[in-house]
Amino acid sequence: MRFWMDVMRHLEPVMEDYERFFPAWEEGGADGLVIGPMTFADKTYTFDTNPEVYRRFGLEPPSPGGSSLWWREPDGRGEESAVESKQARLKEMLEAAKGRGWSVWLFCPHYGAGPGGGPMLTDDRTRAACAARLVDCMEQYPMADGAVLDGPEWGYEIAPFHQNGRSSIFKDLPPEVAEGAERLGYDYPRMMEAKDRLYDRLHRLTDRQILAWDGGFMGAFGLLGADPGLAEWLSFRIESVTETYRRMRELIDVHARRPIRLAAGPRTCAFAPLCGYDAVRLADVLDVLLTKHYFWHRGFDGLYGTVARYVQTLTEWNPGLSQAGALRFVTALFGLELPGVTGLADFDRGFPQEFFDRIVFHETIRILAAVGDPDRVCPWVDAGRKPHDGDPFTACDLDRMLEAAGRAGLKRFLYHHHGNLTAGEWAMISARCGQPWQTTTTPAPEMEGMNASRSMPGYYPPDMPVL
């Protein structure tokens, strides 16, 4: 098994020390790099807008960002020289990665796009603005193979504190999507009414109802009220996401002056359809699928945490519903029957080996089957002390996860992200993917942080619990 390293939101420290990082990563089994968003630490962009790109799309270029001051030249030259030095160093680093034979991908190079006409999932002008920005960025980094998109997608959480459209399924139908829904042939008012009926239905669940409707698609559909409007709403979610990625692919292919590969990160297969992902159809559009192998508890986007939030929310909404009944509801809806979990307390007892042998193995099998080519599957993996603000996912958990995924046929994963990498994880990853690294040496307090190991011999993971 090999891996790609993700460098996210901390470009400068890696740029400054890539001559030491890259050999260590390669020795540990890396054969790819994903980096971005393409902004420096002060939030300014790493490249200057090229207006000609936007003219190809029939668009006005976005407003230019400010300048960035990472370092100043020793002779005190001005701001422009500092920005140019920084931009040159970034290109030098990416060329060095490509020179090693690595795959090089830019994360969300469409960030900084100009205004569109509405939500990206339904508005073609917004898609064009994002595609133009993506092409602008990619053409300024010719050594990069492709672009990684992190969404857009629809939400899949029901907990009340998930109030933004990225997460909550009940915030996913604002008036701005009505026109796009109708263009795709969907009845917006009917979907809105179905959404409200679903919300009401989830407040009137009992153990008896769940037991009566337990079993397969027909049972789950009956459990949710056998609502034709609900089926239409779920179909719209898949159709709009598929169309968005397909249009991005078409726009890029028409207007880019060089080939640009495209990848995206769907949720793990159990949740993906609710988010709007049809992995089989997307495999015809995207070059690589970076499905999210996220399994931690609490935080956000972890499988354990999402299931636990469903259980807690449903039992709070329905005083007569048991935790066991809520878990049966989750099994009916997502097909997830978690080994050893009978109530909320069990989520805090860690992962039994059966979780990896059954759940991780099956989720990996599903995405490999959907794509049909293991070289085009590279699951996003997060772990460490605080993955996505969640509970720790240990080096042992990571090793068991990768072992199960490897048995399913996985050949490569994407580690998210270098700033969070712990010594234990690096020891495990390097032993599984390359030349084993091992040390119990701890950096001195004054050397902690992303740049800490510069003065240490060799390489030491940063171990910073940051997003």
Residue 178: which residues within 8 A CB-CB, separation 6 or more?
Answer: 188
27, amino acid identity = E
Is 275 within the bounds of a domain? yes
In sequence order, what E strands does 216-347 have?
261-264, 288-289, 292-293
Q: What contacts 250, CB < 8 A, 6 or more positions away?
A: none
Run of H or E residues at 284: none
Task: Decide if 74 is inside a domain.
Answer: yes
* Count of domains forming the chain: 1
Structure tokens at 61: 């270029």
Cα 384 to the center of its chain, rounded Å = 16
Q: 10 Å Cβ neighbour count for 79? A: 12
Q: For residue 371, tell me if it sits in a domain.
A: yes
The 3-state secondary structure of 118-141 reads CCCCCCHHHHHHHHHHHHHHHHCC
* Helix axes 188-201 and 228-255, enclosed angle (nearest 10): 130
Using CA atoms, how far residue 142 sits from 6, 44, 147, 256, 401, in Å, is: 19, 21, 12, 12, 35
In a domain, 175, yes or no: yes
Q: Rounded to whole angstroms, how far apart are CA atoms 369 and 308?
A: 28
- Nearest CA to 314 out of 457, 196, 194, 201 is that of 201
For residue 430, give both structure tokens. 């390097």
Q: Residue 174 belongs to a domain with what CATH number?
A: 3.20.20.80
Widest distance between CA atoms in the chain: 78
Sheet containing 261-264: give its strands across: 288-289, 261-264, 146-149, 103-107, 30-35, 2-7, 412-416, 380-382, 292-293
pLDDT at 443: 59
- pLDDT string in tens for the chain (467-residue length): 999 999 998 899 999 999 999 999 999 999 999 999 999 988 889 999 999 999 999 999 998 653 333 333 334 444 556 778 999 999 999 999 999 999 999 999 999 999 998 999 999 999 999 999 999 999 999 999 999 999 999 999 999 876 554 589 999 999 999 999 999 999 999 999 999 999 999 999 999 999 999 888 899 999 999 999 999 999 999 999 999 999 999 999 999 999 999 999 999 999 999 999 999 999 999 999 999 999 999 999 999 999 999 999 999 999 999 999 999 999 999 999 999 999 999 999 999 999 999 999 999 999 999 999 999 999 999 999 999 999 999 999 999 999 999 999 999 999 999 999 999 999 999 999 999 998 876 654 444 454 444 444 578 999 987 66
The pLDDT score that the predictor gives to residue 438 is 87
How far apart are the C-alpha atoms of 112 and 49, rounded to whole Å?
A: 10
* CA 60 – CA 114 distance, rounded (Å): 8
Neighbours of 259 (CB within 10 A): 11
Asked if the structure places residue 466 within a domain, the reply is no
| Residue at 467 is within a domain | no
Q: Which helix (H) or strand (E) holds 236?
A: helix 228-255
Q: Is residue 365 helix, strand or coil? A: helix
Task: State which residues form the domain around 148.
Answer: 2-455
Q: What's residue 161's pLDDT? A: 75
In whole angstroms, give the CA distance from residue 238 to residue 241.
Answer: 5
Query: Distance (Å, rounded) from C-alpha 263 to C-alpha 377?
Result: 10
Beta partners for residue 412, in sequence order: 2
pLDDT at position 458, please?
78
Burial group, residue 330, by CB count within 10 angstroms (0-12, 13-18, 19+):
buried
Global pTM value = 0.93
Instruction: Work out the angle at residue 314's Cα, subtended by the Cα atoms of residues 310 and 315, and round it to the nearest 5 degrees.
Output: 120
The span from the CA of 288 to the CA of 297, in Å, is: 27
**Residue 345 within any structural domain of the chain:** yes
88 within domain boundaries: yes
